Amino acid sequence: MIADSINNECSMIARFSFRAANRIIDIQNQRGRIYPSRFSLKMLQYSADHGHLSAMSQLGCLLYRSGVGRAVKRSGLEYIRMAAKAGDTEAQFQLGKAYFDGSLTHQDSKAATHWLALAADRGHAQAAEVLSECRREDEAGNSSPVALA
């Protein structure tokens, strides 16, 4: 699988950097800091850029949800997309939700359904809930009267 090859190919330094960044983020959260420091984000970015799947997912989610500016949020979405394609369940959920919401991407119910179904099949509970909501909205949109030419 792609996910196994990405994680196996990441270096020991990338794995160490990911663990250290998570520890720093945990300490900062315990001290009341909501958003991680620039240093811990750089450590996550190093790990993600060197193929660490969990780092891709975590960094992408942090940048997408809490990033300042559209460019930062878009780069977060790209990290999420890479992790989702590699098989990370949380990233698949976040990508499906991004397509469903349509805040940074165009709203695409087909892509949202695809990614949410993958995450739900792998046991992500929130993905199953959002998937059912997406399907309800899709059915409501298809059943509305459409003027035929």
Residues 96 and 34: their CA atoms lie apart, in Å, by 25
93 and 67 part of one domain = no
Residues 44 and 102 in one domain: no
Same structural domain for residues 35 and 51? yes
Looking at the fold, whether 80 and 96 belong to one and the same domain comes out as: no
The DSSP 8-state label assigned to residue 50 in this structure reads T
Question: In whole angstroms, how far apart are CA 50 and each of 18, 19, 23, 59?
Answer: 11, 14, 19, 13
Query: End of a domain among 86, 103, 127?
Result: 86
Both 67 and 118 in one domain: the answer is no
pLDDT digits (tens, 9 = 90+) for 11-37: 899 999 999 999 999 999 999 988 888
Alpha helix positions (H), the chain: 2-9, 12-30, 38-49, 53-66, 70-85, 89-101, 109-121, 125-143
- Confirm whether 128 is domain-assigned: yes
Residue 120 lies in a domain: yes
**Rg, C-alpha atoms of the chain:** 17
pLDDT in tens, 66-121: 888 889 999 999 999 999 999 999 999 999 999 988 877 778 888 889 999 999 99
What residue numbers bound the domain in which 134 lies?
88-142
